[in-house]
Amino acid sequence: MKGLSKPSYTKYITRTLKRFDDRNTGFSRGAVEGDKYRLMFQNGVDNVAKKLPGKTILDHAIGAAARTPDLMFRKTAYARNEPPAINKKYRLQTPDPIAMTKIIKNMARWIGSDLVAVTKLNPSWIYTNWGLHNVMYTNAAKEGDPIDIPPEYQNVIVMIHEMDYDHIRRSPAREGATSLAYSKMAWCASSLSTFIRELGYGAIPCGNELGLSIPMAVDAGLGELGRHGLLITRDFGPRIRISKVFTDLPLIADFPIDIGVQKFCEKCKLCAKHCPSRAIQDGKRTDRAWDKSNSEGLLKWPIRAMNCFEWWVKNGNGCSVCIRVCPWNKPNNLLHKFVRIFPERDLFTKLILNMDQRFGYGRQSKAKGYGSLQDPSVTKIDQTVARKGSHTNER
């Protein structure tokens, strides 16, 4: 791993990058163009009657349960610049930025984030306007409202939340790891914001709202952008979710890193090969947008966001196939810590890819197992469903 003075993407910038409009994300367009998000959930519920492997009523309920805190916190805490709840009287007078950065990182880890780092806010990463998807979930603004972060909020604390390896291996069947990570994001970003506010400083907790999380995480040195359009971290690969807190608390920024992702992705195309919707490009980098869901001016592999989202609708639940098949998605154990020394130095990439395939990494697991939730007596239960109302004493 190399520390950099500038993020690894800067050498691929061809034009001035413009701020992105949240109304153009795949999710926001999907909410406007055919209410696709609701349709996806409806298809997911209908799947439970078909007894499809990995899409049973138990699979559905695990995913829905894991999402519970996320749905609550988004409606009450996310994207809100609230005053402190209790201490409205005192403020830490002269916080030392070096000590505060350590305290904030310790606090973030203590409340449950897996990785944490700080970056100075780059205004280019802030959305221009609210999109419908984030409006629906947070109720914090109206669609099209302009987005401005208070100018004194110069620091962004970026947190990484690992997703369960065994759950992700089930994808594109229903998995609970994504939902649980969204709940961890909500818990960590909201709790850390409360901590900062009670010290007398301002904080705005966010998941996907207000700005692009991936470039902020890259700036903070938490990883690099991959071909699949996701952040690749050193410890967990792309098997993560990102939350962030904007703040005026004085902090020291971390430096960006090079872990070898750029060169590796030029040779590996596994995500493009396995993507069920052909949303990921297998060719060379381009700075041209595929459609309005991509920004221009950066040489990368623009994702066909609507292909991806339409497949989710058809599938009846989200998809993590590009995360599952990515060779950076490995358990963070001694063996894989050792092997990643080589891609970090652009060594033996073809051999690593070959071994990865031979050992069956990235293959879909049988969708009946749930890692730590797996229990033979549970996996054998009859999951035939009946329509509600066909029995007495039902809710």
Partners of 224 in the β-ladder: 232
**From candidates 217, 222, 279, 313, binder to ligand SF4 by CB under 6 A:** 279
Q: Exactly one of 268, 306, 313, 367 binds ligand SF4 (CB under 6 A); which one?
A: 268
| Member of 155, 277, 281, 293 binding ligand SF4 (CB under 6 A) | 277
Spatial distance between the Cα atoms of 350 and 264, rounded to a whole number of angstroms: 9
Is the C-alpha dihedral spanning 125, 127, 133, 136 positive or negative? positive
- Cβ neighbour number for residue 2 with a 10 Å cutoff: 12
CA–CA dist 288, 296 (Å, integer): 5
Taking the complex as a whole, how short is the minimal distance between the CB of residue 127 and ligand SF4, in angstroms? 21
- Contact in structure between 104 and 157 (CB atoms under 8 Å): yes
Q: Is the dihedral of CA 135, 136, 140, 141 positive or negative?
A: positive
From 108, 264, 298, 352, residue interacting with ligand SF4 (rule: CB under 6 A) = 264
Shortest gap between Cβ of 67 and ligand SF4 (angstroms)?
Answer: 17
148 three-state secondary structure: coil
> Which has the closest alpha carbon to 329: 162, 106, 86?
162
Contact pick of 144, 250, 276, 297 for ligand SF4 (by CB under 6 A): 276
> Of the two residues 168 and 185, which places its CB atom closer to ligand SF4 in the complex?
168
> Distances in Å between the alpha carbon of 151 and those of 121, 204, 275?
10, 13, 40
Site string for ligand SF4, 314-333 (x = CB under 6 A): -----x-xx--xxxx-----
Residue 275 contacts ligand SF4 per CB under 6 A: yes
Identity of the residue numbered 50: K
String marking each residue 185-224 x if it binds ligand SF4 according to CB under 6 A? ----------------------------------------
User: Per-residue x/- marks for ligand SF4, 244-263, CB under 6 A?
Assistant: --------------------
Nearer to ligand SF4 by Cβ, of 70 and 224: the residue is 224
The torsion angles phi and psi of 177, rounded to 5 degrees, stand at -65, -40
Size of the site for ligand SF4 (CB under 6 A): 23
d(CA 314, CA 29): 16
Among positions 221-240, residues that touch ligand SF4 (CB under 6 A) are 226-228
Shortest distance, CB of residue 356 to ligand SF4, whole angstroms? 9
What is d(CA 199, CA 95) in angstroms, rounded to the nearest whole number? 10
Q: Which residues in this chain contact ligand SF4 in the complex, by CB under 6 A?
A: 226-228, 264-265, 268-271, 275-277, 279-280, 308, 311, 319, 321-322, 325-328
